[in-house]
Structure 1
Amino acid sequence: MPSADLTLAECRAYRPELPLPDGFDAFWSDTLDERAPGGAPDRRPRFDEVDSGLVQVRAYDVSVPGHDGRPVRGWLRMPAGATGPLGCVVEFLGYGRGRGLAHEQLMWACAGYAHLVMDTRGQGWSSATGDTPDTDPGSAGSVPGFLTRGVESPATHYYRRVFTDAVRCVRAMREHPEVDPARIVVTGVSQGGGIALAVAGLVPGLAGVMPDVPFLCNIPRAARIAATPPYTEIAAYLRLHRDRVEPVFHTLSYFDGAHHATRATAPALFSIAMADDICPPSTCFTAYNRYAGPKDVRVYEFNGHEGGAEHHRAEQLAWVRALFAGLPADRTDRA
């Protein structure tokens, strides 16, 4: 299947009107200013070193106070014997994935960077287990999955909690004594890419952002053209709740990467796959075309949701190395 959506030329020119919901910035400002229950200050992040069996990489079991002060788990991996403040990559995970085990995902630490992988609350049933429950599951009327969990209001929606968790993980790494707070990049594949875009719009001063085949972009279009999960959760919900189309998309607009992209200023390296039937390329290009900071994109014309896979990891390694070295970015789109 050479294309799952619009042609590449059409995607590059695609700039649909997506009205920003009223109070978007105030909603997120208020959300991120919230403290733990009862007004008590949030607890400090914890980084407990574990014996992973690795010699060249140090591994730490991480717990960060996330939304409502509740702990969010993760793994921090750092090169053994490294000196001086390190550049840091904060990674968010794809739909259904959890943080996995301490000895996994070693690329960034082997490249000489601190690497935090955030567990996604309530997820971790697929190829990597998770350790962060979602203790506020939302409405009983949601369908299986996460897109409609708490969809009655932006205040109760699942991704409000997840995006807050992600912002607080970045803040925790900025305060880590071995990390250079000016050299933090956020990244993720699919759902992780959507979370990274949100963080790029919510956290000023990031060094960079790498959204990889990002989910949660131009959600109204995705819900109408994607034939495979997770976007199909929205259609399944609206088949049951026929009178809720407008309020559902209003709630989801607060979590749309296409809106968060307009607030982002950090340099960005996107990847988009033209045969992607999970995150349709026009939805990813919606966020890319609206992204307010310097940006590059790598387009994988004949790939599906796997995108560039390890070929794209090589692009990211080179991009982050140049970024942290202060070198000019390669601004040439590659298709």
Structure 2
Amino acid sequence: MPIVDMPLEELKKYQGINPCPDDFDAFWDASIAEMKSLDPQVELIPSKFQAPCAECFDLFFTGVRGARIHAKYLRPKNSTEPHPAVIQFHGYTGSSGDWNDKLNYVASGFSVAVLDCRGQGGISEDVGGVKGNTFHGHIIRGLDDSPENMLFRHIFLDTAQLASIVMSFPEVDENRVGAMGGSQGGALTLVCAALEPRIKRLAPIYPFLCDYKRVWEMDLAQNAYAELKDFFRHFDPTHKREEEIFTRLGYIDVQYLAKRIKGQVLMGTGLMDTICPPSTQFAVYNKITAPKDMVIYPDFGHEWLPSFGDMTYEFMMGL
């Protein structure tokens, strides 16, 4: 078997090396409480795009720090009974994309919500306002400020807030909601289910934002993770603050949220992935205590995984 990381048997036992802050659980409990205290001021605005089987809306809500967050929301036409829903998350620096590729789920009786991550390729608002470095990248945004001001902390909370809003809609059965996405979307799928544990099924693909120190030690702080190396080169060139920085990143390391997941997990991973190394993905997968299954693609990297979309569809049909 080709290897770019550890042998598979070692991956199955790997538990990650990035330090976890001592107050991690208290930090996220307080963050969730802050999110739940907000008035989201939800707005549903009919979209210019419509389809014979769907009602399509631009959904806006107020997230933490007052940002107006956007998502696409589609629901089946003429549906009179509460039905399942799926929340979708996009890759790093992307957006919620086109409307038409969500219609397969709507045609199958699902409502669909797709988040625009703040400050990326969609129209969600990024209110900024952090002290220190804002050089290139969202992982390091707020890294020299308090952990409560890290941008990915806010994006993580946006995922759970969107899920909670969708669950509150009268047309949605709150007990039949799933989440899915690849890369950053895979990470946010896991995060959403951790911070909103009513998510019943989740299908992450090669999740990003896991085990940052492992990425750096493998000399793979490039591509999506390039900002890690950039941060050290610009702001800590001799690594005097290395332990402090990786511990701070631990607040937004998905592996340490994994224990909160209650829903059933179907995860796709390519063992030749040099963007999100397999060991970082196993670091989070191995910490999930809920029912789980991983589909492994030995010869594939950070790319389309054959048939995994079909598997995900069939998996979500079980909601």
Give the TM-score, by structure 2 length.
Answer: 0.91
For 1:192, the equivalent position in structure 2 comes to: 185
Residues 137, 149 of structure 1: 8 Å contact kept = no
Q: How far apart in 2 are the matches of 1:112 and 1:83?
A: 11
> Counterpart of 1:286 in 2: which secondary structure?
helix
Find the counterpart in structure 1 of residue 233 from structure 2: 239
The answer to whether the 8 Å contact 2:106/2:112 transfers is: yes
- State the 1:137 CA deviation: 5.3
- Please tell me the residue identity of whatever aligns with 2:258: A
Query: 1:141 matched to which residue of 2?
Result: 133
Q: Give the aligned residue type for 2:206.
A: V
2:285 match: 288
* Structure 1, 135-144 or 190-199: larger mean CA deviation: 135-144
Match of 2:315 among 319, 323, 329: 319
> How high is the sequence identity, in percent, across the aligned residues?
30
Give the alignment of 1:98-137 within 5 angstroms. 98-124=95-121, 130-136=122-128
Structure 2 counterpart SS, 1:282: helix
Shift of 1:186: 1.6
- Matched with 1:333 is none
DSSP-derived class of the 1:270 partner? strand
1:248 match: 245
Identify the residue that residue 4 of structure 1 maps to in structure 2.
4
Q: State the Cα distance separating 1:307 from its structure 2 match.
A: 4.3
Structure 1 range deviating more: 17-26 or 260-269: 17-26
Which amino acid is 2:139 matched to? L
Distance 2:104 2:112 in 1: 9
Q: What value does the CA root-mean-square deviation take over the aligned residues?
A: 2.1
1:101 Cα deviation from its structure 2 partner: 3.9
Q: Is the 8 A contact 1:266 1:293 kept in 2?
A: yes
Q: Distance in 1 between matches of 2:259 and 2:143?
A: 23
Structure 1 pair 2–138 and aligned structure 2 pair: CA distance change class (3 A): farther
Contact 2:197–2:260 (8 Å) recurs in 1? no
Measure, in 1, the Cα distance between the counterparts of 2:243 and 2:313. Answer: 42
Contact 1:273 1:307 in 2 (8 A): no
* Match of residue 154, structure 2, among 156, 161, 164: 161
Q: CA-to-partner distance for each residue in 1:190-223, whole Å, 9 max, x for gaps?
A: 1111112122222222212221110011121023
Which piece of structure 1 moves more, 299-308 or 238-247? 238-247
Amino acid at match of 1:289: N
Letter in 2 for 1:233: E
Write the deviation string for residues 213-249 of structure 1: whole angstroms up to 9, x where unpaired: 1001112102332253221211111122223322221
For residues 169 and 143 of structure 2, the distance between their equivalents in structure 1, rounded to whole angstroms, comes to: 35
Q: Relative to 1, partners in 2 of residues 1:302 and 1:227: Cα closer, same or farther, differing over 3 Å?
A: farther
**Residue 67 in structure 1 maps to residue 61 in structure 2:** no
Amino acid corresponding to residue 204 of structure 1 in structure 2: P
Give a deviation string over 1:279-335, Cα, whole Å, max 9, x none.
0011001111111211011111111111415x211010111113x1xxxxxxxxxxx
Does the 8 Å contact 2:187/2:209 carry over to 1? yes
1:27-42 correspondence to structure 2 within 5 Å: 27-34=27-34, 41-42=38-39
Corresponding residue for residue 26 of structure 1: 26
Task: Tell me if structure 2 keeps the 8 A contact 1:139–1:149.
Answer: no
Q: Structure 1 131/234 Cα, relative in aligned 2: closer, same or farther at 3 Å?
A: same
Verify the 8 A CA contact 2:50 2:56 in the aligned structure 1.
no
Tell whether the 8 Å contact from 2:56 to 2:73 is kept in structure 1 after alignment: yes
- Give me the whole-angstrom Cα distance separating, in 1, the residues matched to 2:106 and 2:41: 24
Distance of aligned partners of 1:205 and 1:53 in 2 relative to their CA distance in 1, 3 Å threshold: closer
- Output aligned runs, 1:261-272, within 5 Å: 261-272=258-269
Contact 1:59/1:75 (<8 A) preserved: yes
Determine the C-alpha separation between the residues in 2 that align with 1:146 and 1:51. 31
The residue identity in structure 2 corresponding to 1:7 is P
Structure 1 runs of 4+ with >6 Å offset: none
One-letter code aligned to 1:159: F
What amino acid does structure 2 have at the position aligned with 1:264?
A: I
Pick 1 or 2: higher relative contact order, CA cutoff 8 A, min separation 6: 2
